[in-house]
Every structure is written in C-alpha cells, then in structure tokens.
Amino acid sequence: MPGFYLNDIHRVTTKTYSPSNQDVLNARLKTVGVVEHLFQLENGGEKGMDWRIFDVGGHRDHRQVWAPFFDDVNAIIFLAPISAFDQVLMEDKKVNRIEDSLLLFRSICANKLLGKVNIVLFLNKIDILERKLKAGVKVSRYVCSYGERPNKLQPVASYFLSKFMAVHKESKPNLLRELYPHLTKMTDTEVTAALISDVREMILRKQFQDSSLM
C-alpha cells in the first residue's frame, strides 16, 4: 500500500539501508495457519512469567483449525481492523469486513467452551480509520445502519465499539465473563505496552479468582 514506505523511498532503497524498529512495526505480514510465540515479559527488571501466544489466521479457510487451541486458554485477544468498514473479504466480495468480524466475534462469544474465558477486544488501526475519514470516505455509504451520525473519528469508533459490546452482551453463555475493549493502533509501542500490561493483570486476576484467592 502507498504511504509509509513510499514516503521514505530514498531512505529504504539505499544500499546501506537497515530496517528501523518503526519500519518493522509498519510491515504487514499476513498470518497463515497458526503461529506460536513463546516469550517472557520482565516485571520491574525481574524475571517475569512465560507467555505462550497462538496467533491464528482470520481467513475463513483457516478458522476450522482453531478449535484445538481453545483448550485451557487464559484469555482470547480478538483483533478487528476498525478501519476496514469500506473493504470486503478477499474470499467473498459480497461480505463487508466489519460485518464478518462481528459475525466471527458472535460465534466466539457464544461458544460454551469459552464461557469462562475473558475476552480482550482490540479495535485496531484507528490511525488508518482517522485518515480515511479525513479524506472524506463516508461510513454510511458502506454501513447503512450508521445513518446520519457525524463522519468523525470519535463517533465512528464509539459506534463500532457499541456494536461489538452489544454482541458480547447478547451472546455470552456466562454472565460473569468480562470483556476488555480497547481502541488501538499497534504501531504505537507505548500504547501497546500499556495494553499488554493490562492483559497481564487481567490474566493474573482471573488466576487468583479461580484459585479462590480473591
């Protein structure tokens, strides 16, 4: 896509070019199948807990392999590109990407096997969403239910957030399960670090509750 790299075309095409951290963050790699990440987070400079994350591809053809990875999970992080309101699925040009994300989110929320697993919702790419809105792309043209609401970042983000939260409320088999929603742009390392810290605290709190320590 035009943008970040083309704006820096002279820098990235030099013979001595070496990717910066920001270059890596702006790279777009499609998740295919299931990718496992194992790492350790430090806690105040001390050795922290081990994290095992399974990154599962969202393509429709990849979803049937998810089930084995739902066993004994501490949390589910659901990542939805909020900027995709004007895009369709590659595998089905008749389906809006936001609508597909909502349907998929509903199926996960309603899954009885996941009834006790808290969900972290990342409505991602709000920076791209803001650029689209400022360029004059009308949400109501692609999402009829948006109606005459203001075509600005905060109202649009709040509208989509309310849709996801309503799906969780209507579909959850366990009334005590919590949803932790966030509006994000994963290229912002400071915000992402704070979100990871929130997720860690949520997982620890859930473990304490399960062990009757809270």
| Residue ranges at the known binding site for GTP | 25-31, 124-127
The pLDDT value recorded for residue 143 is 94
For 69, 128, 132, 150, 155, the CA distances from 135, given in Å and listed in that order, are 40, 11, 5, 14, 16
Question: Does residue 162 or residue 37 have the better pLDDT?
Answer: 162
- Which pair of structure tokens corresponds to residue 60? 């429709």
CA distance 81 to 93: 17
Annotated binding site for Mg(2+): 31
Winning range, highest mean pLDDT, from 53-57, 83-87, 116-120: 83-87
1, pLDDT greater than 60: no
Query: What's the whole-model pTM score?
Result: 0.76
Binding site as annotated, residues: 25-31, 124-127
What are the backbone angles phi and psi of residue 43, rounded to the nearest 5°?
-130, 100
DSSP letter string, 5-37:
HHHTHHHHTSTT----HHHHHT------SEEEE
Residue intervals of the chain classified under CATH 3.40.50.300 are 73-207
pLDDT, residue 40, reads 74
pLDDT 10s digits, 61-116: 666 666 666 777 878 888 899 999 999 988 788 989 999 999 989 988 988 888 88
Write out the two tokens for 31.
């998740």
Q: Tens digit of pLDDT for each residue in 31-51?
A: 666 777 777 766 665 666 777
Q: What local confidence, expressed as pLDDT, does residue 60 receive?
A: 64
Residue 203: the pLDDT is 72
Residues 52-62 have a mean pLDDT of 71
Q: Residue 58: pLDDT band by 50, 70, 90 thresholds?
A: low
pLDDT score recorded for residue 10: 86
Tell me which residue has tokens 């001390």. 46
CB 123 within 8 A of CB 117: no
pLDDT digits (tens, 9 = 90+) for 24-33: 777 766 666 6
Report the CATH superfamily, name and number, of domain 73-207. P-loop containing nucleotide triphosphate hydrolases (3.40.50.300)
